[in-house]
Amino acid sequence: MDVVVVGAGMVGAACAYFCAEAGLDVAVVDRGAVAGGTTSGGEGNILVSDKEPGAELDLALYSVRLWTELGERFGAESLELQHKGGVVVAQTPEAAAGLAKFAARQRENGIGATDVSAAELAELEPNLTREVSGGAYYPQDMQVQPMLAAAELLRQARRRGTTVHSGTEVLGFRQSGGRIAEVETSAGPIPARWVINAAGTWGGEISALAGAPVPVLPRRGFVLVTEPLPIVVRHKVYTADYVANVASGDEGLETSVVVEGTQAGTVLIGASRERVGFDRTFSLPVVRKLAAQAIGVFPFLADVSLLRSYLGFRPYCPDHLPVIGEDPRVPGLVHACGHEGAGIGLAAGTGKLIAQVVSGTTPDLDLGPFRPDRFAEEVA
């Protein structure tokens, strides 16, 4: 094999697809099912709106372009890709002033952000509370159905010769001549010139097995799913405090309102963030808080039933940036993990950049900010 991808989530699927497209022989290995990790435990927003200018925003813009191309190539339906745009809502004059400043900085960095008044918000989202001070509209924000998108990219990779080994656990690695040579799995060894660590929240475990640790920690989030409704929420809608929540490193519970409709008619309500390890226990207080906050933004939700809630573990790195690129400590080992709450959106760009790394071409973006050996302190 030229490339063995560890992990068949959204990021692993994108890496496999772009590597196969570049003409490489690829095998994907996952101990569970395709998209059975965090990819099945989140939402599918592809956002530029929530990112500060810098390396992550550059990757997000690059990814938005690639998602658009993938939608054109394979059909938007095959990914449930919707160019729906994002609406950020400020509920106080102070929040509105902060949002306007944030949006202005983003505009300087290539983001199409428009300031909108309370009256314009009502036009964009007729069911929104009228108790708002202002907001911003981001036409570049879009959405996919993550499990469908991962499965579709793997299907396209398979058409280009990729093999997918689900139910196969990676147990270790063998090196030869100073670089990765083989992946040891529960189904036997697989020779590999390159190994891509796309194990998401478990990327830290895989990196430790390879002798080149990176610190990836779980950051739990709950999502509520309503009964199917006619279109009542047109955009991805969230409140201005969401950006601060995403950027925070606190271990304690943080919640901000994130609401979006899906093609199935259900409305997804998030988002909570807390560092409680891999605890899968249902939490009524968290779910109650999410529901109350969402009703504050969309009052009609008070009369809507929930079908279910689910949770996932975002792959969190201490500086909130993913780990992307070859590991200088173990030649042949390439990381593509730690995308926290943005791994669906950033998957397309990550996959393409990884394919460029293993093909020996210059990556389209500078990978310096994402380099794997930047955590000397955390992994000491």
Binding positions for ligand FAD, rule: CB under 6 A: 6-12, 29-32, 36-39, 41-45, 169-170, 198-202, 206, 221, 223, 270-271, 312, 314-315, 337, 339-345
Kindly state the helix (H) or strand (E) to which residue 216 belongs, with its residue range.
none
Shortest Cβ distance from residue 4 to ligand FAD (Å)?
A: 10
Residue 115 or 169 with smaller CB distance to ligand FAD = 169
DSSP state of 38: G
Strands 179-185 and 188-191: antiparallel
Of 164 and 344, CB closest to ligand FAD: 344
For the record, the structure tokens of 53 come out as 């200018």
Q: Which is nearer to ligand FAD, 7 or 135 (CB)?
A: 7
Least distance from C-beta 356 to ligand FAD, angstroms? Answer: 18
Q: Around Cβ 53, how many Cβ atoms within 10 Å? A: 15
- Minimum distance from CB of 311 to ligand FAD (Å)? 7
Tell me whether residue 16 or residue 121 sits nearer to ligand FAD (CB atom): 16
Nearest approach, Cβ of 365 to ligand FAD (angstroms)?
17
Helix (H), strand (E) at residue 361: none
The smaller minimum CB distance to ligand FAD, of residues 96 and 142, is found at 142
Q: Are the C-beta atoms of 154 and 28 separated by less than 8 Å?
A: yes
189 contacts: CB under 8 Å, gap ≥ 6: 174, 182, 183
Task: Provide the residue count of the chain.
Answer: 380
235 three-class SS: coil
As a whole number of Å, the end-to-end CA separation of the chain is 33
CB of 99 to ligand FAD, least distance (A): 19
Q: In the complex, what is the shortest distance from the CB of residue 225 to ligand FAD, in angstroms, rounded to a whole number?
A: 11
335, 321 contact by CB (below 8 A): no
Cβ closer to ligand FAD: 9 or 332? 9
